[in-house]
Structure 1
Amino acid sequence: MTDSSSTVRRNASRVRWQQTTTAILCGTTLVTIPILGNAQETGEGSDDNEGYRLAPIIVNAQAYADDDANSIVAQELWVGGKVATSILDTPASVSVITEKEIEQRNASTTEEVLQYTPGVLTDYYGTDDRNDYFKIRGFEATTYRDGLTLGSMRGVREEPYAFERVEVLRGANSTLFGPADPGGSVNFVSKRPRFERFGEGYLSYGSFDAKEAGVDVGDTLNADETVAYRFTGTIRDSDREYDHSKDNNGFLMGGLAWEPTEYTSASVIFDYLKRDDTPNSGGYPLDREYDRSDFFGEPGFNYHDVERTSLTGQLTHDFNNGLTLRGNLRYSDLTDDFGYVYITDSAARVGSVVDRDYFGTDNEAQELIGNAILQYDARFDQVDSSTLVGVEYRDASTEDSSFYGDATSIDIANPVFSGAPSSLNVYSSNKQDFTTESVFLTQNLSFYDRFIVTAGVRNDSMDVSSTNMAGVTDSDDFSETSLRGALTYRVTDEISTYVSMVESVAPPTIGIDPERGEQYEIGAKYSPFGTNALFSAAIYDLTRDDVTISVVQDNGVIERETVGESRVRGLDLEAKAELTDSFSVAGGYSYMESEVVRDSNADREGNEFTAAPKHTASLWGYYTLPSQDMSIGLGARYIGSYYFDVANTSKSSAATLFDAAFSYQLTQDADLAVNVSNLLDEQHVVGSSTADYYNPGREISAKVSYRW
């Protein structure tokens, strides 16, 4: 056991350590909400009547502290660290999916984690399972892990059991993170060592013969409790809902944390991800609705092998004079190979024989990314100031070869498989190198604990080179500056409003100007005292300029030109609340108007985006019976209709899907949970071109977990 002063020192140190990476860049001055015994620190400058001040700003002493394992409501935005920024004071539309919500819904993919988040559309490619597919506000989204971009690793399907929470930031954000897509960002926050003993293990079985086991354990390693470890792992052996499929994967993650003093901390995390599954069902013919179990690909050529290793290190030192230094570094290595056969149907087809093609990619990638950040906090009478300056460096390389060609046709009335293609037509082979050097500055000023002014600027110098299969090397360099500005007004200690302007710069392509995004947003947030709840609303106007499109030249050659412009305007509403100790609810609604403003093909101007429904809504409720040993959950997701193609000639049908959950406490430390997704087994087309792709069917899983 440790004495009380040691506990205070360790808790205060933990708070400092957890403010890592770009959590400090969220555009508001940083705060910490009082957390049990961490609320105050004994020592010089402490005040028994105020919460501990990490950075000058309003300290909401009545707010609930975040506990992602036991609450679906988050009041703080970590964006790569912990206990960093009050969501109420963040001038942006954000959502946080906590560990508890992920567990309630038994979300096993990023698509499932995000499918109850307003402004986000997931799974619009159906049984194409190579990646996690999602869009935010009609555009692609950039993914991060602990605040550092995943870059060339972004196509990998992440393991949700590895994360304490998943954060969604809607809208452009290059000033915070560098080159990014305009729709927004998804940040995965890794599970980290805790300075206490804990453990969890589980076994589960479900639809499609899905067998899974997992463990998450940790403790301190020395007598004075300055070193802690954590080990997390899962293994899965399963089929998918279509024939001749598999969905096998394994994940291991180990971490060490060292806190020699209350002012200095360091951590290192190693993780390994391996997937051995099938990438695609091959699609379904266009003439009618088929059973999801049907398979029209090729069993002998339907593979997806992924192997990724990452090593992350973080260091924080508080100089105890308002100045804090943070450093973050990560190296990742990835191999990602897949190949499959898919049908190429046509509405004009006569008979039951359908053409097929094959497609695949062999890919290798390495990435080194790191940053160093200085933060200085000061208070001048009624003005609080937080200044951040930092540098970031990223060096990434990829080698890939892609193959594509005709495959043997198949008779869908009597499928006979012909085996893998006898030879592969490699149409593209490239070796690419990306180097980015960045510098950024953010200034936050709080006046009279009510007005918060945020200003930020970032410059990214990017060098890109590519060598094709003929040995020809091409290169280009870019220097892009992005700006951010916002004004937040705290109407009361429970209500805040804001107006913001943010910019984005998409990762560039050789010879093409980077696509730029610009968003204007007005929003409001409400966190009532006495209730663990957060309500938010935002209206926005998001424009993407310099859109790259393919243009047919006079000589018949197709070249890519930067001539386009597109825009989305909309509304996002979200509510998350734990209304009682037994009942929680999460709901959201989004309205979105998308438009192609300029296009080389005038016929497409005025069209809507693909996979951009005007209306989406969701509601999830979870209730624990008075006996406290049984809980039930029920959710509904509504996805409005959207276009499949840029010409706006084919469209999906609107659909509502239901999910359910049941949990029973077997003993004080053991639980049984049963989850059903798509409860009514509703089937509809989510993507269509040369084939139809359906939404996932009903899946049932049962899990027994034990905690200590």
Structure 2
Amino acid sequence: MGNNIRQAHRRQWRVVLVSCTALVVFAPAKSLAQQAENTGPGIVLDTITIDGRDDDSKSIVATKTSSGSKMATDILDTPASVSVITAKEMQQRGAQSVEQALQYTAGVSTDFYGSDDRFDFFKIRGFDAYTYRDGLPLGRPFGGLREEVYAYDRVEVLKGANSTIFGVSDPGGSVNYVTKKPKSEKFGEAYVTGGSYNRKEVGFDFGDNLTKDNTLSYRLTGKFRDADAEYDYSRDDEKFFIGGLTWRPTDMTSLTVVFDHLHRNGVPGSGGHPVGSDFSRSRFFGEPDYNYRGTDRNTVSVMFDHDFGNGFSFNSNARYSDAKTDFGYAYIASTPNDGSTIARRDFFGNESSNENFVIDGRLQYEVNFKDIESRTLVGVEYNKSSSSNGTYYGPAGSIDWNNPVYSGGPANLPLISSTRTRQNTKAVYIQQDLTFAEKLIATVGLRNDWLDIEERNRLNPEASGEADLSELTSRFGLTYKLTDEMSIYASYAESVAPPTVGLDPEEGEQYEVGVKYQPTAFPALFTASVYELTKNNITVTDPVTSVQSTIGEVRVRGLDLEAKAEITDSLSLTAAYSYLDSEIVENGGRGDEGNRPSFVSKHQGSLWANYKIEGSGRRGDVIFGLGSRYTGSYYFDNGNTTKTKGNVVVDASFSYEFLDKSTLDVNVSNLFDKKYVAYGGFGADFYNPGREIAVSLRRTW
């Protein structure tokens, strides 16, 4: 009952907060509008950059983002920690997955499940993260499908509790993928790649104008791969295609339609190795006849922008997607400790489908009045999804790891869970930026999400249920520009994650202060931030009754340091360090209070540097890249009974330009083939990814 009273008091406080904030926001806006009317003709502002992107194919340093407020904003003026991984950075490091794209980012941890390849696994500031595409929600990576990074111009990481911006999410942060769209110029690249694990791959990305007046442009991007994974009886095949058209009937209007298809035929993972053993990563103790991971998704995205002039603009994004995924495998369930070499195994399978339509519309108004600049954004969002999920589980034949004999796949694997979920979400939000004397920026954001959730249990209809929730989140920030190159900020932000029917939503809040430095002498961005992040109503499952309840609180106090810099024409670097002091504050009397949450390292850091030797005569440019990633020790469970030690992994790259705009690229991840147990403690060990080499021939124009 005490928790219900606290929730009621919090909702009452939020109602007062909305009312007061509305007065603060709209009263000045009304006054400014009256003043503007009295001063004569309306103010005509410069053309607004809608998506806020830099040229991500030519620099590792981004200066603008739309993830901080859904308005194109200088990162220097955003009261939050934002990291941007551009297309150039991903290409330099040879990133082939979301985890590889994110692994040099402050506050982000990856690869903590080792050779489990079902999903994109990453945490931000110690918590799972929600993902978005062009500002529209995709959902949690865990349980979803693995995104194709070649589809995106950039990956934006917004750290902290920020449901006010994108909607329901976890408190650690969010990842926003920005889709490749047509440009109003001719461009292109094509490549072929060969490498480790029989990898054979071709890809292309090109576009041009279809009309002489640049009103109609297209872009085609594709990637086709035939490969294996690092363990026996595996495959890693993919077919990906994306095509887009952009129509610009006037300088003030643009309409973009993008279709993409993603098909993957892979495997879910190695199935683990016996605890305490030291087998080669290639050894496989699963079942070749029951080892698959499939993905099939079709997506249509529509993006519309219009500038009315006089400071008014309207932007809208919509997306429809239809996705189907499945996986099945046998894994080592327990390793004997009596001297036997016979490991027990289980079968595990899943089939899921999801159909989703989401649309978001935003009206933005910008006006200047004396020493005050005002930007107001009002938006609405509608999100409808329908999904089904079936889980299969049962015993598999044991296996002798010294003499493995495969027994084949299951004839009939029991269905242990079958659900169908429908969710309708409606949201309205407002964001206000006020800049005083070009120095002090006040940022306020409010958002309310109405969630209508229906869950049907096909095996146990009595366990079905419905929920109708209304969740308000807020965000406040102050930024002060010490100079044109440096700013300091302080912020408070809230988050809310959609719950299981019958449970309260998981809620988070964060306090953060930071400093940003963006020199004008060369492209660079240096950031530092400290924060306290709390997540409440954590969902836990009783190990005896299997009943879920929301009892718990986790707190993380941390420090993030990050630098991206192109210091000279020859030298560029990316550096990051994070310190996370995490603690389970409440856990419903389960004895974990005071422990560290699982998979959260106290220290992690990375450094990547590129050095270019200018070409001379017939010799083209040569670029050497070298990187190092440190992940501190972390526990495999909240009980803090088993953990991995701290580890360092080294990556490298080499690029040589020949002819004109043709390059030979070599990328090596885990250069020294560092091997350690990334996940374990329950019956099997899962190693970190081993050394992988890729050699590409690339032609650009």
Asked if these proteins are the same fold (TM beyond 0.5), I'd say: yes
Quote the offset at 1:151 in angstroms. Answer: 2.9
Residue 695 (1) aligns with residue 692 (2):
no
Structure 1 residue corresponding to 2:406, chosen from 411, 417, 425: 417
Question: Residue in 2 aligned with 1:433?
Answer: 422
Mean CA deviation greater in 153-162 or 395-404: 153-162
1:134-168 CA-to-partner distances (Å, cap 9, x unmatched) read: 00000000111111111378711111111111111
Quote the offset at 1:78 in angstroms. Answer: 3.5
1:569-611 CA-to-partner distances (Å, cap 9, x unmatched) read: 0000001111100110110000001100001235200000111
* Pairwise CA RMSD: 1.9
Residue 182 (1) aligns with residue 182 (2):
no
Mean CA deviation greater in 73-82 or 676-685: 73-82
- What code does the residue aligned with 1:550 have? T
For structure 2, the residue ranges without an aligned partner over 5 or more in a row are 1-24, 26-41
Distance in 2, matches of 1:111 and 1:73, equals 20
Secondary structure class of the residue paired with 1:696: coil
- What code does the residue aligned with 1:268 have? V
Change (3 A) 1:97 1:180: same
- What code does the residue aligned with 2:678 have? V
Residue 481 (1) aligns with residue 481 (2):
no
Distance in 2, matches of 1:502 and 1:78, equals 17
Residue 511 (1) aligns with residue 502 (2):
yes
Distance in 2, matches of 1:87 and 1:602, equals 42
Cα contact 2:320–2:356 (8 A) shared by 1: yes
Quote the offset at 1:198 in angstroms. Answer: 1.3
Question: Residue in 1 aligned with 2:636?
Answer: 644
Aligned pairs for 1:132-151 (under 5 A) are 132-151=120-139
Quote the offset at 1:474 in angstroms. Answer: 1.5
Question: Residue in 1 aligned with 2:456?
Answer: 467
Cα contact 1:80–1:189 (8 A) shared by 2: no
For structure 1, the residue ranges without an aligned partner over 5 or more in a row are 1-26, 28-43, 56-63
TM-score by length of 2: 0.91
Question: Residue in 2 aligned with 1:219?
Answer: 208
Quote the offset at 1:551 in angstroms. Answer: 3.0
Distance in 1, matches of 2:597 and 2:557, equals 12
Residue 289 (1) aligns with residue 278 (2):
yes
The total of aligned residue pairs comes to 652
Quote the offset at 1:81 in angstroms. Answer: 11
- What code does the residue aligned with 2:589 have? N
Structure 1 residue corresponding to 2:115, chosen from 116, 127, 136: 127
1:171-192 CA-to-partner distances (Å, cap 9, x unmatched) read: 1110001110111011111111
Residue 680 (1) aligns with residue 669 (2):
no
Distance in 2, matches of 1:54 and 1:201, equals 32
1:402-455 CA-to-partner distances (Å, cap 9, x unmatched) read: 001111100111000000012111000011101100010111111110000011
Distance in 1, matches of 2:140 and 2:540, equals 22
- What code does the residue aligned with 1:698 have? R
Quote the offset at 1:80 in angstroms. Answer: 10
1:10-32 CA-to-partner distances (Å, cap 9, x unmatched) read: xxxxxxxxxxxxxxxxx9xxxxx
Change (3 A) 1:139 1:80: closer
Residue 244 (1) aligns with residue 233 (2):
yes
- What code does the residue aligned with 1:106 have? G
Aligned pairs for 1:307-456 (under 5 A) are 307-346=296-335, 348-456=337-445
Cα contact 2:360–2:380 (8 A) shared by 1: yes
Quote the offset at 1:383 in angstroms. Answer: 0.6
Structure 1 residue corresponding to 2:85, chosen from 94, 97, 105: 97
Question: Residue in 2 aligned with 1:116?
Answer: 104
Mean CA deviation greater in 600-609 or 356-365: 600-609
Secondary structure class of the residue paired with 1:351: coil
Quote the offset at 1:348 in angstroms. Answer: 3.0
Question: Residue in 2 aligned with 1:39?
Answer: none
Question: Residue in 2 aligned with 1:267?
Answer: 256
Structure 1 residue corresponding to 2:529, chosen from 533, 538, 559: 538
Cα contact 1:81–1:146 (8 A) shared by 2: no
Question: Residue in 1 aligned with 2:516?
Answer: 525
Mean CA deviation greater in 445-454 or 349-358: 349-358
Cα contact 2:276–2:685 (8 A) shared by 1: no
Secondary structure class of the residue paired with 1:196: coil
Cα contact 1:212–1:236 (8 A) shared by 2: yes
Structure 2 residue corresponding to 1:629, chosen from 621, 628, 641: 621
Secondary structure class of the residue paired with 1:611: coil
Cα contact 1:80–1:148 (8 A) shared by 2: no
Using the aligned pairs only, state the percent identity. 49
Distance in 1, matches of 2:70 and 2:540, equals 41
Cα contact 1:153–1:365 (8 A) shared by 2: no
Change (3 A) 1:198 1:268: same
